[in-house]
Amino acid sequence: MSTVIYPSPIFGPIHSRRLGISLGINLLPADGKVCSFDCIYCECGFNADHRPKQKMPTREEVATALEKKLVEMHNDDVHPDVLTFAGNGEPTSHPHFAEIIDDTIRLRNKYCPDAKVSVLSNATFCGRKSVHNALMRVDNNILKLDTIDPIYINKVDRPTGHYNVEEVIEHLKAFNGHVIIQTMFMKGDINGFNVDNTGDLYVAPWLEAVKRIKPMEVMVYTIDRETPAHGLLKATHEELDSIRDKVTAAGIPCTASY
């Protein structure tokens, strides 16, 4: 199994399918994974297999490392399209997430004003005022909503604490359109549970929730790397295109990544 644990607090730049030349900012420890979900498709692996011994980087460590890397890239004439908060778990779980966003915006404005600041999050903490307000300040507030079916969520996303999908939908609505919904579609069978969420059974109620949220965009995608759970299959191009077309028919821009 070749899941990935990323360096911390800065990794890359890497070329992202969805985001372009992306400099990664990882607010989780460098030696393991910390997430409020434990997705069966997580490219970092299962939480239990990667318990970290190190701490999260401090706000100061993140700002120092980010500035050093941006100066280096500037001197090399490499210009990031995006500074992306992602990595070994849930970025908004960092206790100084909001302040780190402010530091990042300041450094972006100084060294690469054309770059976007993106956050990839599972949305579990976006109801917290400081997290909500910080996410309102970033360019791409990309929040996960794989389905609205509680059984599927418990089998596939596997929240580690309280998670009520209706509450999450309300939190997503509260961004008043300043949110991009990202949804993983896949197929396969895990311990007798069919994880295929590409059919109308899952897509129709998910689409109704998306319409209520009124995001600026939706990103649908599928498995791209090795997953910790065995038996997962990619959604096909046709399936993703069909879902994308349903979203765009509802008047919401949507991209599909295969």
Choosing from 122, 141, 197, 227, the residue that interacts with ligand SF4 (CB under 6 A) is 122
Q: How far is the CB of 21 from ligand SF4 (least distance, A)?
A: 21
CA dihedral 32, 38, 42, 45 (to 10 degrees): 40
Other CB atoms within a 10 A radius of the CB of residue 130 amount to 15
- Residue 104 or 122: the one with the smaller Cβ distance to ligand SF4 is 122
Q: How far is the CB of 74 from ligand SF4 (least distance, A)?
A: 30
Q: How far is CA 248 from each of CA 133, 200, 207, rounded to the nearest angstrom?
A: 28, 16, 11
Backbone φ and ψ of 164, nearest 5°? -120, 115
**CA pair distance 238, 256, nearest whole angstrom:** 10
Choosing from 9, 89, 188, 215, the residue that interacts with ligand SF4 (CB under 6 A) is 89
- Does the footprint of ligand SF4 cover residue 90 (CB under 6 A)? yes
Choosing from 42, 117, 186, 232, the residue that interacts with ligand SF4 (CB under 6 A) is 42
Q: How far is the CB of 217 from ligand SF4 (least distance, A)?
A: 19
Q: Taking the mean position of all CA atoms in its chain, how far away is CA 189?
A: 24
- Residue 74 or 158: the one with the smaller Cβ distance to ligand SF4 is 158
Q: How far is the CB of 174 from ligand SF4 (least distance, A)?
A: 20
From the CA atom positions of the chain, what is the Rg in Å? Answer: 18
- Residue 34 or 112: the one with the smaller Cβ distance to ligand SF4 is 34
- Residue 3 or 242: the one with the smaller Cβ distance to ligand SF4 is 3
- Does the footprint of ligand SF4 cover residue 243 (CB under 6 A)? no
DSSP class of 157: I
- Does the footprint of ligand SF4 cover residue 142 (CB under 6 A)? no
Q: Taking the mean position of all CA atoms in its chain, how far away is CA 143?
A: 6
DSSP class of 153: I
Burial of residue 176 (number of CB atoms within 10 Å: 0-12, 13-18, 19+): exposed
Q: How far is the CB of 223 from ligand SF4 (least distance, A)?
A: 11
Instruction: Read off the tokens for 134.
Output: 């910080």
Size of site (CB under 6 A) for ligand SF4: 9
Where do we find the tokens 């689409």? Answer: 207
Question: 22-41: which residues touch ligand SF4 (CB under 6 A)?
Answer: 35, 37-39
Q: How far is the CB of 47 from ligand SF4 (least distance, A)?
A: 7
- Contacts with ligand SF4, residue ranges (CB under 6 A): 35, 37-39, 42, 44, 89-90, 122
